[in-house]
Structure 1
Amino acid sequence: MQLRNIAIIAHVDHGKTTLVDKILHSTNVFRSNQETGELIMDNNDLEKERGITILAKNVSVMYKDVKINVIDTPGHADFGGEVERVLKMADGVILLVDAFEGPMPQTRFVLQKALNLNLKPIVVINKVDKPNCRPDEVHDAVFELFFNLDATEEQLNFPTYYGSGKNGWFNDSLTPREDILPLLDGILEHVPQPKIAEGTLQMQITSLDYSTFLGRIAIGKVTRGKLVENQPISLVQADGTIKKSRVRELYIFEALGKKKVTEVYPGDICALVGLEDFGIGDTVADFENPEALPITYVDEPTMNMTFSINNSPFFGKDGKFVTSRHLRDRLMKETEKNLALRVMDTDAADSFLVYGRGILHLGVLVETMRREGYELTVGQPQVIVKMIDGKRSEPFETLVVDVPQEFASKVIDLVTRRKGEMLIMETKGDMQHLEFEIPSRGLIGLRTQMLTNTAGEAVMAHRFNEYKPWKGPIPGRNNGVLVAKEAGTTTGYSLDKLQDRGSFFVDPGEEVYKGMIIGETNKPGDLVVNPNEGKKLTNMRASGTDGAANIAPKILMTLEECMEYIQQDECIEVTPNHIRMRKTILDEEERKKYQKMLKTEEVG
Structure 2
Amino acid sequence: MRVEHLRDIAIIAHVDHGKTTLVDKLLRATDAFRANQQVQERVLDSNDQERERGITILAKNISIEYKGVKINVLDTPGHADFGGEVERVLRMADGALLLVDAFEGPMPQTRFVLRHAIDTGLSIMIVINKIDRPGADPEKAYNDCLDLMADLGATDEQLEFAMEHVVYASAMNGFARLDPNDGNMDMYPLLDMIVDDMPAPEVDVDGPLAMQCVTIDHSNFVGRIGIGRVYSGTIHDGDNILVVKNDGERKTAQVKQLFTFDYLGRTECKEVGAGDIAAVVGIDSTDIGDVYTDPENPVELDPIEIDPPTLSIVFEPSTSPLVGRDGDIVGGRQLKERLFNERENNVTMKIEELPDKTGVEVSGRGILHLSVLMETMRREGFEFQVGRPRVLFKQDSNGNKMEPVEQAVVECPDEYSGKVVEVFGNAGGIMTNMDASGTVTHLEFKIPTRGIMGLKNRIMNVTHGEGVFYHTFLEYGPFAGDIGGRNNGAMISMTTEKAVAYALGTLQERGQLFVEPGTECYEGMLVGERSKPGDMVVNIARTKNLGNQRSSTSDISVQLVPPRTFTLEEALEYIVDDELVEVTPKHIRLRKRLLNAIDRKKAAVRAANMSK
Match in the other structure for 1:462: 471
Alpha-carbon separation, structure 1, partners of 2:87 and 2:15: 16
Q: How many residues get paired?
A: 603
1:264-301 CA distances to partner (integer Å, 9 max, x unpaired)? Answer: 11111121222211111112222444434222101111
Residues 460-539 of structure 1 aligned to structure 2 (within 5 Å): 460-535=469-544
Match in the other structure for 1:116: 119
Answering whether residue 85 of structure 2 is matched by residue 82 of structure 1, we say yes
Answering whether residue 429 of structure 2 is matched by residue 420 of structure 1, we say yes
User: Equivalent of 1:362, from 358, 367, 370?
Assistant: 370
| C-alpha spacing 1:507/1:396, structure 2 compared with 1 (3 Å) | same
User: Equivalent of 1:172, from 151, 171, 178?
Assistant: 178
3-state SS of the aligned residue for 1:54? coil
Match in the other structure for 1:213: 221
3-state SS of the aligned residue for 2:542? coil
Answering whether residue 146 of structure 2 is matched by residue 140 of structure 1, we say no
Alpha-carbon separation, structure 2, partners of 1:128 and 1:35: 28
**Is the contact made by 2:218 and 2:345 (CA closer than 8 Å) also made in structure 1?**
no
Alpha-carbon separation, structure 2, partners of 1:322 and 1:281: 36
The amino acid across from 1:276 in the alignment is D
Match in the other structure for 2:609: 600
Residues 151-300 of structure 1 aligned to structure 2 (within 5 Å): 151-157=154-160, 158=162, 159-175=165-181, 176-197=183-204, 198-300=206-308
The amino acid across from 2:156 in the alignment is E
**Is the contact made by 1:308 and 1:350 (CA closer than 8 Å) also made in structure 2?**
yes
3-state SS of the aligned residue for 2:121? coil
- Per the TM alignment, residue 348 of structure 1 is displaced from its structure 2 partner at its CA by 2.5
Match in the other structure for 2:347: 339
The amino acid across from 1:121 in the alignment is I
TM-score normalised to structure 1 length: 0.96
**Is the contact made by 2:504 and 2:517 (CA closer than 8 Å) also made in structure 1?**
yes
Match in the other structure for 1:378: 386
The amino acid across from 2:526 in the alignment is I
Match in the other structure for 2:597: 588
| C-alpha spacing 1:497/1:402, structure 2 compared with 1 (3 Å) | closer
- Per the TM alignment, residue 534 of structure 1 is displaced from its structure 2 partner at its CA by 4.3
Alpha-carbon separation, structure 2, partners of 1:429 and 1:96: 25
Residues 298-337 of structure 1 aligned to structure 2 (within 5 Å): 298-337=306-345
- Per the TM alignment, residue 69 of structure 1 is displaced from its structure 2 partner at its CA by 0.8
3-state SS of the aligned residue for 2:15? coil
**Is the contact made by 2:500 and 2:541 (CA closer than 8 Å) also made in structure 1?**
yes
Alpha-carbon separation, structure 2, partners of 1:321 and 1:5: 43
TM-score normalised to structure 2 length: 0.94
The amino acid across from 1:193 in the alignment is A
3-state SS of the aligned residue for 1:279? coil
Identity of counterpart residues, as a percentage? 47
3-state SS of the aligned residue for 1:580? strand
The amino acid across from 2:492 in the alignment is V
Answering whether residue 394 of structure 2 is matched by residue 391 of structure 1, we say no
Bigger CA drift: 287-296 or 17-26?
Answer: 287-296
- Per the TM alignment, residue 136 of structure 1 is displaced from its structure 2 partner at its CA by 1.8
Answering whether residue 107 of structure 2 is matched by residue 100 of structure 1, we say no
- Per the TM alignment, residue 543 of structure 1 is displaced from its structure 2 partner at its CA by 6.3
3-state SS of the aligned residue for 1:507? coil
The amino acid across from 1:183 in the alignment is L
Alpha-carbon separation, structure 1, partners of 2:406 and 2:234: 43
Bigger CA drift: 22-31 or 338-347?
Answer: 338-347
Match in the other structure for 1:29: 32
1:409-466 CA distances to partner (integer Å, 9 max, x unpaired)? Answer: 2212211221211111113553211111111111100111111222222222222222
Match in the other structure for 1:401: 410
The amino acid across from 1:73 in the alignment is T
- Per the TM alignment, residue 209 of structure 1 is displaced from its structure 2 partner at its CA by 1.7
Alpha-carbon separation, structure 2, partners of 1:260 and 1:340: 28
User: Equivalent of 2:445, from 412, 431, 436?
Assistant: 436
The amino acid across from 1:42 in the alignment is D
Alpha-carbon separation, structure 2, partners of 1:85 and 1:286: 23
Alpha-carbon separation, structure 1, partners of 2:401 and 2:190: 50
Q: Any unmatched runs of 5+ in structure 2?
A: none
Alpha-carbon separation, structure 1, partners of 2:308 and 2:186: 42
Bigger CA drift: 280-289 or 200-209?
Answer: 280-289
Answering whether residue 58 of structure 2 is matched by residue 55 of structure 1, we say yes
**Is the contact made by 1:82 and 1:339 (CA closer than 8 Å) also made in structure 2?**
no
Bigger CA drift: 432-441 or 236-245?
Answer: 236-245
| C-alpha spacing 1:497/1:555, structure 2 compared with 1 (3 Å) | same
The amino acid across from 2:101 in the alignment is D
**Is the contact made by 1:374 and 1:575 (CA closer than 8 Å) also made in structure 2?**
yes
3-state SS of the aligned residue for 1:573? strand
User: Equivalent of 1:550, from 545, 551, 559?
Assistant: 559
Answering whether residue 572 of structure 2 is matched by residue 559 of structure 1, we say no
